[in-house]
Chains A and B, each alone.
Chain A
């Protein structure tokens, strides 16, 4: 039987979550609920093992329907996790009781209390009560709010033309949403193009990639811009303005004399496609078959000598004329990828001994090596190869030297173990007489089909040696008279910690994965990177490809080390999120934006002066009862609710909806108020 209630009565339901022990192991939740029950307007105060479960949410729904609860306060995990969950709960119950989802306040008892006060349960419980009291004080003053609903531009911008960006673009387009893909370099394909075969099945990497590129560029909803970068962003989810700057290609459609032009070009630079192991000219293509099917001029190295023009000038223009253009897009997919770790000079002899190369270089070396019976390097026949794992990965702070920027890569790069053994298998097949030594810390062939590659390598006479992370091997010149120029000295824990010297004609460093340097994109999109410098998701399980900025999602290795399969999956998942956002044609924006009380506003414009967001608050001529005056006006879509205008206003005429000054005052008073007399917990 519902209790009688009058309109305007504030009837608060208070719920304290155990969080499956996360809170209740430290905070006496029963005592908290008992204390809160005594406060004015609190109609019920309950606890539950997990409030966010269906059963927990049902408690709230029932209280709304049966006890006429019209404000809800939940003390649980951080609001970023489940504030929205509970807003949905009360909105659902509101179908009958008419409850606005913003008549809700979330108190973080886990991050702010139990996780940080583990040693002091009594004080923690008191703090929990105080925070909840403040929440209740705010709840008394909550008003219904309505989100802003805006048309969404059904157009996504994908940044990055590697496998993840391509995959995301393809999925978004197939879903019926327009996509523009921009790639900084002149060619699509990213690092996958530099592989010959992929694990686990030995598939032809460029063929698989080429099929994907064909699908993407042929799709009528996809537009691709190479040599294009994001240089400006404004707007908000559903309606961003992206400024894109594109360098000239220098070569236009119809140019057919690439081979001749490259022949006469006098500029020769290291070819990044082969990690500097070969050279290319200033007019170049990344690889045969690269998309687009047109060479490009390398502006950093072309000296505009004009020799190429003499071959057949049509289609060449040796002046770079960067152009900018704007796009209106609803969402961004950040697929900016990775770069391989580049060892320091002297790290495992890299850059000191020519026989020390990286795994990506070795893959290119094998691609270039031809079909001869022997592997040649530096004019010598290679007889002994040493593969060293975890270079630039799993580094230990205090043990390993930081990189120039102070970073110590303490993470696992995830792909190098399988990639190294995939390489070992290829080496064994092509050069049966080679001695192959695999020097590792752990072998992490975790993925489907990967363990088979390890087993096969072991069966194929690859010698395994195991070091400890804080006792990494040394690469040293071999003594005179040795047949190999280098030796790898390793304390091998598979032979009881004996120090062994492994002869090496070639040392291959399995270098790890670093994020591409994308500080510009981070600041343009206002997203964040983690301590490992990879882009940060909101939560690995709740929102694994979303950033904290609505409308910006992550795809692939920009987020962390992944193999191709994992990058494809992440990109498709990102595409699904874009489809959720834009597929319906409109987006909802939270109502936590500034609101001006025009009765108090004197048009001083101080708010406009301090606002950091374009067109969020402006002075406009407003007429009221025949009087016209300059008043501040908020455009909700452009306002982020930061509150800077609130503090600047000399007349206290501005509030942020849902977080008003009066609400803050009430919360502060509640925090300073004496604790309710604690009843003993039941």
Chain B
């Protein structure tokens, strides 16, 4: 690709649902936006999901049109597979950002996304997109609905056999590509750097990631997704269809032993949603959700929970203490049945899903000068009145970078961050006497 210097009104960092929405809400107002994404495709975590609560819309139906709108918007410069390297203040206001285009080893302007390279590549790698349940090639289009629909080469795993180069009908493959640095000048920045999940091995009591039939909820999303690895829900150890599935709530949230004392806010609803989808996919399976509190607080969420109960999904109050496995690799859950005489029981299930929590995806302190709070998410000095404003003037935050939140709340906050950034730009252009007071009040 031709590397150029980019002048925009706003740089949005992160191409997940929050970043895409902020970019669209600004671009639709006529502002120029650059959207920078570290992965080869935008879409973030949301594009990996199956269906989304509480409407049970297919996730692609919500995400992919937004991805497409971002890619085709006249006011959006899409910068995928790029890292922000340095940030400086622009004289007169705004920022100068050094961005590195990582080499795709594929010319993005020439590549047609035909996947011929992928078909001939001899290297099979665990698919991170499918949470290591499926395989991908070293050179590939990231996933079927990726934006851009362009191949990239995972050079660390490439054996330089050259087959892709021979197969490519448009000679797009270029092993000699180098990282290229360019600058983005922007009047404001929106951080939409998202979240990571509790690592699989985080909790020793839950098998430390060693038990085959204990998976995290994102694995289950992939198993349930129509684009998923098997097309069926199968358990990892032996490919059996599970008859008994248990959800362990707060597996990584509200847990001082992990240093994560907060509620991750989405896990109750995604577990209930998955339980409902499993009831459809495996009508005979027993599904149990072990929980501390059911937190279905959003619009339509409580009704969703009550529907799940009516469908026969079993809700058991109790924090799971330990997960072991029996000789058939069935996970065995040890739990105090608080509502049943506080009996401590051990129950075997075919498959256990850990409702893992949300951790900050990125610490913006050193690069962006935005401090984080005790929970590791971006600090927000006036959370009630200005929920997307960071202590650093001109830098705003949205989505799960501002703390755990679901898709709806991320989309709404993305609109708020866009409004704040737009107002900031206008006030810089037309300074008002109030501005100094506002900045003083917020950033004091």
Contact = CB atoms under 8 A, between A and B. Distances in A.
A174 B422 CA distance: 8
Contacts of A49: 60, 144-145, 226-227
Closest 3 CB pairs of A and B: A573-B415, A20-B58, A53-B64
A212 interface: yes
B57 interface: yes
B263 interface: yes
Interface string B179-203: 0000000000000000000000000
A106 B241 CA distance: 38
Nearest to A413: B297
B145 A54 contact: yes
Contacts of B147: 54
15 contacts: A52-B65, A54-B147, A82-B61, A82-B65, A88-B72, A171-B419, A174-B426, A203-B384, A448-B383, A451-B262, A496-B339, A541-B407, A541-B408, A570-B416, A572-B388
Contacts of A442: 293-295
Contacts of B254: 451
Contacts of B417: 572
A55 B385 contact: no
Contact of A92 (B72, B299, B411, B415): B72
A163 B385 contact: yes
B295 A52 contact: no
Nearest to A176: B426
Given A446-B265, A448-B404, A573-B419, A494 B387 contact: no
B37 interface: no
B419 A175 contact: yes
Nearest to A205: B384
Interface string A239-279: 00000000000000000000000000000000000000000
A188 B64 CA distance: 42
A167 interface: yes
Contacts of B258: none
Nearest to A569: B416
Given A52-B61, A540-B299, A541-B57, A493 B403 contact: no
A679 B172 CA distance: 40
B262 A541 contact: no
Given A412-B297, A412-B302, A568-B384, A451 B261 contact: yes
A576 B29 contact: yes
Interface in B254-272: 254, 261-263, 265
Given A58-B149, A442-B295, A579 B422 contact: yes
Contacts of B306: 396, 410
B385 A208 contact: yes
Interface in B95-124: 113
Interface stretch (A423-431, A559-567, A614-622, A641-649): A559-567
Contacts of B65: 52-53, 82, 85
B301 interface: yes
Contacts of A219: 432, 434
Given A85-B65, A176-B426, A576-B25, A22 B58 contact: yes
Contacts of A560: 299
Given A21-B58, A55-B145, A414 B298 contact: yes
Nearest to B302: A412
Contacts of A563: 384
Interface of A: 18-22, 24, 49-50, 52-58, 77, 81-82, 85, 88, 92, 163, 167, 171, 174-176, 198, 200-201, 203, 208-209, 211-212, 215, 218-220, 394, 396, 410-412, 414, 442-452, 455, 493-494, 496-497, 532, 534, 539-542, 544-545, 559-561, 563-566, 568-577, 579-580, 583-584
A174 B438 CA distance: 12
Nearest to B342: A496
B67 interface: yes
Contact of B416 (A561, A576, A579): A576
Contacts of B295: 442, 444, 446
Interface residues of B, number: 88
A412 B426 contact: no
B422 A201 contact: no
Contacts of A444: 293, 295, 297
B60 to A, nearest CB: 4
A61 B207 CA distance: 50
Nearest to B63: A53
A497 B83 CA distance: 56
A493 B423 CA distance: 51
B317 interface: yes
Interface in B423-443: 423, 426-427, 430, 432, 434, 438, 441
Contacts of B11: none
Nearest to B67: A54
B416 A568 contact: yes
Contacts of A201: 383
A452 B423 contact: no
B338 interface: yes
A572 to B, nearest CB: 3
A568 B385 contact: yes
Interface string B225-239: 111000000000000
A174 B224 CA distance: 45
Given A22-B61, A442-B294, 9 more contacts: A20-B51, A49-B145, A175-B426, A410-B302, A451-B254, A540-B300, A541-B55, A568-B385, A569-B387
B30 A584 contact: yes
A19 B227 CA distance: 11
A579 B408 contact: no
B403 to A, nearest CB: 4
- Most chain B CB within 10 A, of A201, A219, A448, is at A448
Interface string B9-28: 00000000000000001001
Contacts of B227: 20, 49
B438 A19 contact: no
B412 interface: yes
A545 B411 CA distance: 10
Contacts of B293: 442-444
Nearest to A444: B295
B62 interface: yes
A497 B419 CA distance: 50
Nearest to B24: A580
Given A414-B297, A414-B298, A444-B293, A568 B68 contact: no
Interface string B59-94: 111101101110110000000000000000000000
A175 B30 CA distance: 12
A162 to B, nearest CB: 12
A544 B68 CA distance: 19
A575 B419 contact: yes
Contacts of A445: 263
Contacts of A573: 25, 411-416, 418-419
Contacts of B59: 20
Nearest to B341: A496
B296 interface: yes
A445 B263 CA distance: 7
Interface in B267-325: 293-303, 306, 317
A175 B302 CA distance: 37
- Most chain A CB within 10 A, of B71, B317, B411, B430, is at B411
Contacts of A203: 382, 384
Interface string B392-423: 00000000001110011101111111111011
A571 B278 CA distance: 37
B384 A564 contact: yes
A52 B419 contact: no
A52 B28 contact: no
Contacts of B416: 568-573, 576
B386 interface: yes
Contacts of B411: 541, 544, 573
B377 interface: yes
Given A446-B295, A545-B415, A572-B388, A20 B61 contact: yes
A555 B309 CA distance: 32
Contacts of A569: 387-388, 409, 412-413, 415-416
